[in-house]
Amino acid sequence: MTTDRAASAVENPFRKEAADWWATAVSRIEPGVIELRGRPVQELIGTISFPAMIWLLVRGSLPTDRQAALLEAALVAAVDHGPQAPSIAAARMAATCGVGLNNAVATGVNMLGDVHGGAGEQCVELLTDVLAAGLPLPDAAAATVAAWRARTTYLPGFGHRFHPIDPRRDPLLALVDAAVSDGVVAGRHLAAARAVEEELNRGRSRPIPMNIDGATAVIYAELGFPAPLARGLFVLSRSVGILAHAWEETGSGLRNKGPLPRSVLPTYLEPAKSLRQPPA
């Protein structure tokens, strides 16, 4: 706040209350001034990458080049998974309804919830539980997996309904291995993830490998992002694919495109007798 504005706020308590209403350390915007976390935007344009900008705004400091590269790899890996992903399909459907590109993208993004889009956040929580168990990693993984399976059959970050082995997994984990070797990250969450994977596959003939959500969860956790931000960063990543698909669909020339071809009618289920009876 400039001296004149500060003096004015002292003279007018309501003005200070209004100025403090959305008080923020993220950005300072005044006539002729745009500062992001205290850095003039003109000094950032052309000098830092978009992943580094994400880090700066969310974390308040600039990452090292290696940290930014690792974050970028995770963001790149998760951009798209085709129209079989509900968020992509919904965005494409919305694009044919005349709602505009921004609304089509919002439709897809708003479908990224606990079931579709939340596995990365949940996997960070899983790995955090392993590391907090205070046991040797194999024992901690076994105890944590047992505790999670007591309340859900689904272990986030492991297995994939579509890929026997997620093709995005190994390149990401190789980057984390290199970052651990070079001292960029500590490797504790990577070790926890591999311990969980080993526990899940104990005695199995068909493996349950770590998937994209697990690999990116490892990266986000190793870089120090809290679990909720793992989902937020996934949303940023997937929004790129959502945008691309929505934009492609706007050129199809189709209108009001539904979830099924018009030649396919959903199976009709005869109402149950109990539904026909008036309430007692």
pLDDT greater than 70 at residue 110:
yes
Residue with tokens 């889009």: 117
Q: Which residue has the higher pLDDT, 269 or 226?
A: 226
Please tell me the predicted confidence (pLDDT) of residue 6. Answer: 56
Distances (CA, A) of 13 to 5, 10, 107, 196: 12, 6, 42, 56
**How large is the average pLDDT for residues 102-109?**
97
Structural domains in the chain plus CATH codes: 3-47 (no CATH), 86-250 (1.10.230.10)
161 CB neighbour count, 10 Å cutoff:
6
Query: Contact 91/108 with Cβ under 8 angstroms?
Result: yes
Could you tell me the pLDDT band of residue 153, with boundaries at 50, 70 and 90?
confident
Q: How confident is the model at residue 164 (pLDDT cuts 50, 70, 90)?
A: confident
d(CA 101, CA 96): 10
Task: Out of 9-23, 115-129, 198-212, give the one with best mean pLDDT.
Answer: 115-129
Tokens found for residue 158: 């492991």
Residues 60-86: tens digit of each pLDDT: 999 999 999 999 999 999 999 999 999
Among the residue ranges 168-172, 241-245, 270-274, the one predicted with the least confidence is: 270-274
Mean pLDDT, all residues of the chain: 92
Q: Kindly indicate the confidence band of residue 279, based on its pLDDT and cuts at 50, 70 and 90.
A: low
- 3-class state of residue 109 by DSSP: helix
With 0.85 as the threshold, say if the pTM is over it. yes
28 forms bridges with which residues in the sheet?
35
Q: CA dist 107 to 95, 226, 232, 239, 276, Å?
A: 9, 26, 16, 10, 35
